[in-house]
Amino acid sequence: MLNREFIFSNPEVLKWIDNKFIFVAGDDWYRRRAQDDASVWFKSIARKARRGKNGSTQQGCYAVTPKGELLRFINTSDPKKFTVTMLEALKLWDGVVQDKKVTIPEMKNFDYKVNVPPIDPSKDVLIKVQSRALTEKDGKLERWNSNGKAGGKPAVGHLWIKQAEWQSIVQNFKTMEVGETTPLTKRLIHRIAKFHLIDNTRGEGPAWESKDLKHAKVTLTRVKNGFAIRGMFLLTNQKKSLSHSTELSGEITINQSTARPVSWTMIAYGKHRGEGKYTRNARPGAQPLGFTFEFLPASKIRPIDLVPPQHMRWQRGYWEAEKH
C-alpha cells in the first residue's frame, strides 16, 4: 500500500516494481476491518511486520512470497529507502529454496458489509471525476503551478450511479418536449455535492454534511439526443472554516434504442476555501477549483476505473446521500 503522492510522483519506481514484482495495491481501511479470506490473509502478513495491532493502521509496503512469508516491510514515502528495501527483498527471494511456481488459492468469502460490492458497468453508470487546483491570470484560468508543493496535480475519483437511478433520470425522456426542463433527483444532487465537489487535490478531502448544503440545484433540459445540464452549489461549514461556491454545466447524450448513456460530461468551476485533516497547507482565501465528470462506457473501463468512490466507506450514506 503506497502513499498516493509517492505513486503518482515516481513512475520510474512503479515501472521497476511492475517488472520485478506482482504489484498489488489495496486500501488499508477496508482490509483491517473486513473478514473475507483476502483480508484475513493480509492481516496475518501485517502482524509479522508488527502492524495492525489492536486494529491500528497496516499501511505500508510489503514484499511477500505466495506462501505468505514476509520478506521485507517499510512504511515510507522516500523512493530511495523504498527501493533499497525492495532490493533486499529480491535478494532474499532469490535465496529462498522453494517452488516458485506456487499456486495462489482463490480468495472467496467476500465481506460486503465492509468491502464495497463491485459496480456493474454494463448496467450501472460509472463516471470518472477529476479535480484540479486552478489560478486566474489576466482574466484567464490556468493550471495552478504549485512549484513542487502538493496539490498541483489532478486528483481522480469515481461517481457511481445505480441502474435504477439512471432509469429514474431517463424515464420521462421520450415524453419530454425539446426545451422542457426537469430537476435531477435530489439523491444524485446530494451525492455529487457532498462526496464529489470536495478539494482532494492534496489528499483525502472531507465530505460535506447535509447541513452544509446551503444551495444545491441541478436541472436537465431536453435537447435532441439527451439533456443539457445546469447546476449551482453553495456549500459552507463555518465551524471548519470551509466554503465552496461552484457552477456546473454539461450534457448527456442518450442511445434512444437502449436508453443507455452514450456520453455524460460535466464541468464544475468555482472557488473553494479551507482545508481538512488530511488536506493541510491549502492556498490562502477562496481559490479557483475545477472538476470534470466523464462517463466511462463498459468497453473502455480499466481495472483502476473500478476503484470505489473515496467516501463509499459509509455505503449507506453514499447511496442514500439525501437522507443523512
Say which amino acid occupies 165.
E
Read off the pLDDT of each residue in 235-240 and give the average, rounded to a whole number: 95
Per-residue pLDDT tens for 66-103? 778 899 999 987 888 988 999 999 999 888 766 656 66
> Do 172 and 80 lie in a common domain?
no
> Do 79 and 141 lie in a common domain?
no
> Do 133 and 67 lie in a common domain?
no
Per-residue pLDDT tens for 207-216? 999 999 999 9
Per-residue pLDDT tens for 271-297? 999 999 999 999 999 999 999 999 999
Q: Considering its fold, how many domains does the chain have in total?
A: 2
Whole-angstrom Cα Rg for the chain: 22
Residue at 109 is within a domain:
no
140: alpha, beta or left? (left if phi > 0; alpha if psi -120 to 50) = beta
Per-residue pLDDT tens for 142-199? 999 999 888 999 999 999 999 999 999 999 898 999 999 999 999 999 999 999 999 9
Residue at 245 is within a domain:
yes
Q: Which domain holds residue 41?
A: 4-95
Question: How far out from the chain centre does Cα 72 lie?
Answer: 29
Looking at residue 66, its pLDDT comes to 79
Per-residue pLDDT tens for 215-237? 999 999 999 999 999 999 999 99
Q: What pairs with residue 245 in β-bridges?
A: 234, 271
Domain boundary among 57, 73, 95: 95
Question: At which residue does the C-alpha cell 445505480 appear?
Answer: 162
- The span from the CA of 305 to the CA of 198, in Å, is 19
> Do 228 and 181 lie in a common domain?
yes
> Do 176 and 305 lie in a common domain?
yes
Whether the pLDDT of residue 128 is over 70: the answer is yes
Identify the H or E element spanning 228.
strand 226-237
Per-residue pLDDT tens for 19-34? 888 888 888 899 889 9
Residue at 108 is within a domain:
no
Residue at 114 is within a domain:
no
> Do 135 and 91 lie in a common domain?
no
Looking at residue 101, its pLDDT comes to 63
- In degrees, to the nearest 5, what angle opens at C-alpha 114 toward C-alphas 110 and 116? 75
308 — phi, psi (to 5°)?
Answer: -65, 155
> Do 210 and 172 lie in a common domain?
yes
Domain boundary among 95, 116, 133: 95
> Do 87 and 137 lie in a common domain?
no
Domain boundary among 55, 74, 95: 95
> Do 133 and 235 lie in a common domain?
yes
Residue at 178 is within a domain:
yes
Output the CA torsion 177→251→137→286 (10° steps): 90
Cell of 217: 440545484
| pLDDT band per the 50, 70, 90 thresholds, residue 8 | very low
Residue at 113 is within a domain:
no
- The span from the CA of 43 to the CA of 37, in Å, is 10
